[in-house]
């Protein structure tokens, strides 16, 4: 009788252990990094959305790679698409963010709108709708300022400054996370340009590491971890 009883309890323990493992995996902390080519990893990496299922190129050329070094137990998903404007991001919120049921979405967006001639007010309107969608889904938002772009026109730089100041303020008002990624990547010897770049428009691998480290530091402070 005793061996059968011991076997019975062993089976119960194994069942509980398996259930706990499944529960842990199901409830794994999930972060979506969402944006345009700077999130995707251009020019050296193409995101999983661009080249399914795992992307293609140098994986170190994406800030999500470096972010995962700080949070190895988290599930971090790169939902960047090169060339995206905020209108396009708004349309793909459900398919590329909400369907993963993330805990946090990191949003770095707006530079393509400004470079394309759209004003900061246009970007603000679209981002507000994106933020509202995240709030409705109870997804916590981390706001990132848009990065410098070498040789941007003075009018575009003015719009960048206006938008970045608004991003700082709305994150404060709404209690979102905030990372001044513009400051993290700005060249101290050439204001308005990237300090570590592959092509003048995107960070290089070192730049993506700086970007990932900056976002990780901001996230640790915001989430108190």
pLDDT for position 11: 55
Give the C-alpha separation, 78 to 154, whole Å.
31
Q: What fold is seen in the domain 29-223? A: Rossmann fold (3.40.50)
Paired with 77 in beta bridges are 32
How many C-beta atoms surround the C-beta of residue 193 within 10 A? 17
27: left (phi over 0), alpha (psi -120 to 50) or beta: alpha
pLDDT for position 137: 98
Cα distances (Å, whole numbers) of residue 24 to 19, 29, 40: 9, 9, 28
- DSSP class of residue 74 equals S
Alpha helices in the chain (DSSP H): 2-26, 37-40, 63-70, 86-91, 93-96, 111-115, 120-136, 154-174, 181-185, 205-223
* Domain map (residue ranges) of the chain: 29-223
Least trusted range by pLDDT, from 96-110, 165-179, 191-205, 209-223: 191-205
Residue 50 binned pLDDT confidence (cut-offs 50, 70, 90): very high
* Statement: residue 79 has pLDDT above 50: yes
The C-alpha torsion from 183 through 200 and 208 to 192, rounded to 10°, is 0
Give the C-alpha separation, 81 to 48, whole Å.
9
Task: Quote the mean pLDDT of the chain.
Answer: 91
Task: Give the mean model confidence (pLDDT) for residues 51-78.
Answer: 98
Q: What is the pLDDT of residues 151-195, one digit of tens each?
A: 889 999 999 999 999 999 999 999 999 999 999 999 988 778 999
Residue 72 binned pLDDT confidence (cut-offs 50, 70, 90): very high
DSSP per-residue codes, 84-127: --HHHHHHTHHHHTGGG--SEEEEE--HHHHHTT--HHHHHHHH
Give the C-alpha separation, 75 to 186, whole Å.
29
């Amino acid at each position: 009788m005793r061996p059968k009883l011991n076997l019975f309890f062993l089976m119960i323990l194994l069942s509980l252990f398996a259930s706990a493992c499944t529960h842990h995996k199901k409830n794994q902390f999930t972060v979506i990094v969402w944006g345009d080519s700077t999130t995707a990893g251009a020019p050296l990496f193409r995101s999983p959305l661009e080249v399914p299922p795992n992307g293609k190129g140098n994986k170190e050329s994406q800030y999500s790679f470096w972010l995962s070094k700080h949070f190895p137990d988290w599930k971090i998903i790169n939902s960047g698409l090169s060339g995206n404007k905020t209108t396009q991001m708004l349309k793909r919120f459900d398919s590329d963010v909400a369907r993963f049921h993330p805990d946090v979405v990191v949003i770095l967006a707006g530079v393509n709108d400004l470079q394309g001639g759209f004003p900061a007010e246009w970007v603000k309107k679209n981002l507000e709708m994106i933020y509202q969608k995240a709030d409705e889904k109870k997804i916590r938002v981390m706001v990132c300022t848009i990065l410098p772009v070498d040789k941007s026109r003075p009018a575009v730089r003015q719009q960048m400054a206006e938008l970045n100041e608004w991003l700082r303020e709305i994150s404060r008002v709404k209690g979102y996370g905030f990372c001044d990624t513009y400051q993290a990547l700005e060249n101290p010897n050439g204001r308005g340009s990237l300090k570590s770049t592959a092509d003048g428009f995107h960070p290089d691998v070192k730049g993506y590491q700086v970007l990932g480290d900056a976002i990780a530091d901001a996230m640790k402070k915001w989430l108190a971890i």
